[in-house]
Structure 1
Amino acid sequence: MKVALIGLGTTGRIAAEYFHKEQALALVLCRENSQDAGKDLGELLHRPHMGVSVETTENLEEKLNRYKPDILIDFSSPSFLREHLATLARCKVNVVTAVTGYTQMDIKRVKVLARKREIGVVIAPNITLGVNVLLVMAQIAAALQSDYDFQVVDENHRNKKDSPSGTAEKIVAAIKRGLEKSEADNLIPIHSIRAGDITGRHKVLACGKYDQIEITHTAFSRTAYAEGAYKAAQFIYGRKGFYEMKDVYGLGKPNYAEDRLHTDATASLAGFYA
């Protein structure tokens, strides 16, 4: 598996080191007119020579044909895929994008191109295993406690551009799936905090009349995002079609469907406490 990476922010640099350690990194891309163009990755990461070239996205098709990556990992911004997805599809390069801020139209276009051009794409604003477990737990809690008030707290570093985050919006969607059979008002507030260098913390509050449940995921290190990207790359290697991280982690199987949460989850809890 040969990987190209774009996006050398704080998380992208950690991902670059992670993929290099796994001997999978073949190319790093930077924006046009970047001063990093032509350098070895080691120079940017303050490491010894790493043997990985940094190239601009100018004439991207020629560079993809030269380095022949199987997968592109995207830690940049929504604009990259908007501008270059068709080129990646022509070159049969699969994609894992950990970027947030895509519109519904963006996602629809990705799905259409993945199907028509027969490439594989993972859209993963929620790239860690822990967050995906939280999504399942939030949906179960909502299905079992539909009369509770749900709110989401979204904490990230001060430089994160999107607020609320794509992960917070995914959590809200999971809660709403759990509440679908209830008659409750499905308005789920998101409280976003952008401060300091918070790596990432998401909390679900389920508040009843007499008690409260909290489900929290905290990322201690951005290596968790790099590890998630690597698992997604392994998953999408050789695959075609559109996927999310629930597919990568096996959480999109039928037994997680909302219509079984009300029966299976309740039955399991009843058996546990019997």
Structure 2
Amino acid sequence: MKNNQIRLAISGINGRMGQSILKVLNNEEQNNILLSCLLEKKTKLNLLNKILYKSNFIKIDYNIMNIINKFDVLIDFTNPYSTIKNINICKKYNKKIVIGTTGFNNEQKIIIKEISKKIAVVLSSNFSQGINILFKIIENITEIFCKNKQKDLDIDIIEKHHKNKVDLPSGTALSIKDIILHVLKKNNVIKKINFHSIRAADLYGEHNILFSFIGEQIELTHKASNRISFAKGAIQAAIWISNKQKGIYNMQDILEI
């Protein structure tokens, strides 16, 4: 191990995002990253209990305490219950964490925010560069509609994901809603935002934002053709947060959008 390398752990390594992150780490040169340990639910270890990284096998553990001294940054794409458990342990042992889990309730969001006062946390519903650029465009276009007092404006968010995705609407769709609502509230505008969710086959993820008014529509779309862009963003977040001491950040902070 080199002195300047960041020791990385991945929680949920047998999941879709865990496997995508591993693929990027195996296929692209990452001189400042060392994948040092892996986590997965005990019930899934019967399927796969070790992972090939570069030319070596890494054993998968189910207990974060067994690897707590072997990593600096944890990337967590699991579920709200598991993530909250992991972030509490990261706080206790002063580890940094990148969270891609979605579906947190309000109480869990408060816990993450409080813990971020002690350690560095990246929390993002979507780690792709494209969707985060889209977030900024949505913010700007909503501001324009407010300034022009577009009274007959209808706003719809349509999102499509694979049929096994649990949360509905998606975390990204909820982030889009929050961005729009923030601008509307700032301008004292009240508008209903409609959600339309599709769960089918193995769709990677598509988000459409439709602004409709009499005689015209503006549609903004982001499509992901695979999960590699999300994986690269998560790795970028882990590198970026490695020199932060505390605070809660998102991909827009990292991309400086």
TM-score normalised per structure 2: 0.87
Match status 1:172 vs 2:182 = no
Alpha-carbon distance in 2 for matches of 1:237, 1:99: 19
Match status 1:220 vs 2:225 = yes
Determine the structure 2 residue equivalent to 1:63.
Answer: 67
Moved more, 241-250 or 188-197: 241-250
3-state SS in 2 of match to 1:72: strand
1:38 Cα deviation after fit:
8.5
Determine the structure 2 residue equivalent to 1:75.
Answer: 77
3-state SS in 1 of match to 2:243: coil
Let me know the Cα RMSD of the aligned residues.
Answer: 2.0
1:153 Cα deviation after fit:
0.5
Does the 8 Å contact 2:26/2:54 carry over to 1? Answer: no
Moved more, 241-250 or 222-231: 241-250
Does the 8 Å contact 1:78/1:102 carry over to 2? Answer: yes
1:84-114 per-position Cα deviation (integer Å, ceiling 9, x unaligned): 3221112221000111101122121112122
Task: Point out the structure with the larger strand share.
Answer: 2
Determine the structure 1 residue equivalent to 2:57.
Answer: 51
Alpha-carbon distance in 2 for matches of 1:166, 1:142: 20
Alpha-carbon distance in 1 for matches of 2:237, 2:92: 21
Does the 8 Å contact 1:40/1:49 carry over to 2? Answer: no
3-state SS in 2 of match to 1:81: helix
Moved more, 197-206 or 83-92: 83-92
* 1:178 maps to amino acid: V
Determine the structure 1 residue equivalent to 2:242.
Answer: 237
Determine the structure 1 residue equivalent to 2:91.
Answer: 89
CA 1:181 to 1:196, structure 2 compared with 1: closer, same or farther past 3 Å? Answer: same
Moved more, 190-199 or 5-14: 5-14
Task: Point out 4+ residue stretches in structure 1 off by more than 6 angstroms.
Answer: none
Determine the structure 1 residue equivalent to 2:20.
Answer: 14
Alpha-carbon distance in 2 for matches of 1:37, 1:55: 13
Moved more, 239-248 or 167-176: 239-248
3-state SS in 1 of match to 2:56: coil
Percent identity of paired positions between Structure 1 and Structure 2: 27
1:142 Cα deviation after fit:
1.0
CA 1:193 to 1:82, structure 2 compared with 1: closer, same or farther past 3 Å? Answer: same
Does the 8 Å contact 2:9/2:36 carry over to 1? Answer: yes
Alpha-carbon distance in 2 for matches of 1:114, 1:139: 25
1:165 Cα deviation after fit:
0.5
1:41 Cα deviation after fit:
0.2
Match status 1:30 vs 2:40 = yes
Alpha-carbon distance in 2 for matches of 1:103, 1:39: 31
* 2:130 maps to amino acid: G
Does the 8 Å contact 1:37/1:55 carry over to 2? Answer: no
Determine the structure 2 residue equivalent to 1:250.
Answer: 256
Specify every segment of 5 or more residues in structure 1 that has no aligned partner in the other structure, as ranges.
252-274
Determine the structure 2 residue equivalent to 1:264.
Answer: none
Task: Point out the structure with the larger helix share.
Answer: 1
Alpha-carbon distance in 2 for matches of 1:94, 1:190: 34
Does the 8 Å contact 2:45/2:60 carry over to 1? Answer: no
Match status 1:5 vs 2:10 = yes
Alpha-carbon distance in 2 for matches of 1:5, 1:225: 14
Determine the structure 1 residue equivalent to 2:3.
Answer: none
